[in-house]
Chain A
């Protein structure tokens, strides 16, 4: 069975782990574009993540037991919308936001990861709505203050703004992802997680409009890139926030993870909502299944 490796890219706390857990549940539900007919040998990592979700919690960023079990998640999948296509495997290598953060800060990455990127057919690039890890760009007042600082004073508080981080990560993907057999551009799905935290107006405008508001540099780069094909998805993996006790209680008492959550995306200038949480991955591997 052909193995297609996709890579999850994103800064710490961007929602990679929780999406992976929810993706596993969606693949098992076999109601989306992609389904996992069999249970792969090693599912400890995704099962641990799923356990958090089923208990009404998001997998915490600093969960050490998750870190220990973190390694490649290999799952054989089959497209459900086309009957005569062979199955294939999706390989999702272990994910660490710190690794990507460090790569942006130093431009360095381990040999193993560079090879992993070069082997990947596409990437999911994550950014989470309202994460306390998000960094806003400098403003004029702060910049003026920093420029006036005495040279001996180091600005310890500085962090790379999220939009710069996203631009750099996309640049790395442009540099490493290879075109498919027939010259089709590799795909990068931009996954805006915690989509449910936005107000109704922002949600109605769709993920690209949200990105434009928050990260204009990143959206400019997305529109300009010629080396990868991009599509933005707004994703809520359970349809609400477990911090909201009312939602959490309702979810635990009457909810069903397999029917919770959805993704939104733009199609023909319209914002579409889709219950299928495998869609971002199905879109990534779509060109490969055609060839």
Chain B
């Protein structure tokens, strides 16, 4: 048996002598009794078999944060989902677009569509209030925050189920919430390992900051980068690229010149990409354009059967949209 001391620097155990010259037998600092190992009094087996009670975990409801790829796969096995691939540089307005879409739905102001459901409602709420922040502390003249993902290699998906007024059909949309840096690394380093899901996208939204296409100082470079992006996408998704909606954001600041956009249309045509241009004002700085202008059209083109990819099997009986089993595919798998 040994006795312990309240002072961590005590040397009695090693030297038998107290540096404070106290008598170890009567020292006021002495505490309790330590059991020394090897004296036969410690039941090691019993100690090893004693288990701590695991902390009580409260039951959880399924969360409504962004969906993981696994959760997305489960949803896609239940019903047909329109997967949208969203690409664009960090300032392009991707998050602003998603926020504005959510705000339109929250006030029943999205022309042509009604909200039915979302499995990621809290994620939308978080994004809308800017709870996802820039990770490097950069805060330029920026409308939205960067998207920082828990898993650097996997996309987080937002889910929306909408009812199209024109047809009454319900459509499920999966919208990845990606950081703009992923688009930059696709262009600069051809890093495609995180973008596999694009292979099963029904449509791609390539977002471009309208300001950069309007201002003469930035236009040339913006067109150059957009062309590169189109080429990278076409190469990665070869042999068939899904239809591309080229989304020009910040319509409230004006539209780019026609000849500017023609250059991009020509580029897409040369790559065999079916491209349509959509103009968007997620927020409205001026008085002439309402916030959310263009989002309804963007969605209409996204879920329109005309925008869908090549017909795998021509449906001669007009049952398009109801053959979910035939249309099911795994996320990331090519058609």
Contact = CB atoms under 8 A, between A and B. Distances in A.
Interface string B139-153: 100111100000000
Given A146-B130, A171-B64, A151 B137 contact: yes
A140 B133 CA distance: 18
Contacts of A152: 137
Interface string B49-68: 00000001011111110000
B128 A151 contact: no
A216 interface: yes
B108 interface: yes
Interface in B76-122: 95-96, 99-100, 103, 105-108, 114-118, 121-122
Contacts of B131: 155
Interface of A: 103, 107-111, 114, 137-140, 143-144, 146-152, 155, 158, 160-161, 163-164, 167-168, 171-172, 175-176, 212, 216-217, 220-221, 223-225
B125 A143 contact: no
Q: Is the interface of A mostly helix, strand, loop or mixed?
A: helix
Interface residues of B, number: 44
B115 A108 contact: no
A148 B122 contact: no
B106 to A, nearest CB: 4
Contacts of A216: 105-108, 114-115
Contacts of A168: 64, 121-122
20 contacts: A110-B58, A111-B56, A111-B58, A137-B103, A138-B128, A139-B103, A140-B103, A143-B99, A147-B96, A147-B143, A148-B142, A151-B134, A155-B129, A158-B129, A163-B106, A168-B121, A175-B62, A216-B105, A216-B106, A220-B114
Nearest to B290: A140
Contacts, number: 116
Contact of B130 (A103, A147, A176): A147
B61 A107 contact: yes
Contacts of B62: 107, 175
A221 to B, nearest CB: 5
Nearest to B292: A140
A158 B125 CA distance: 10
Contacts of A171: 61, 64
Contact of B59 (A109, A158, A224, A225): A109
A140 B283 CA distance: 7
B179 to A, nearest CB: 14
B161 interface: yes
B62 to A, nearest CB: 7
B163 interface: yes
A225 B114 CA distance: 14
B80 to A, nearest CB: 15
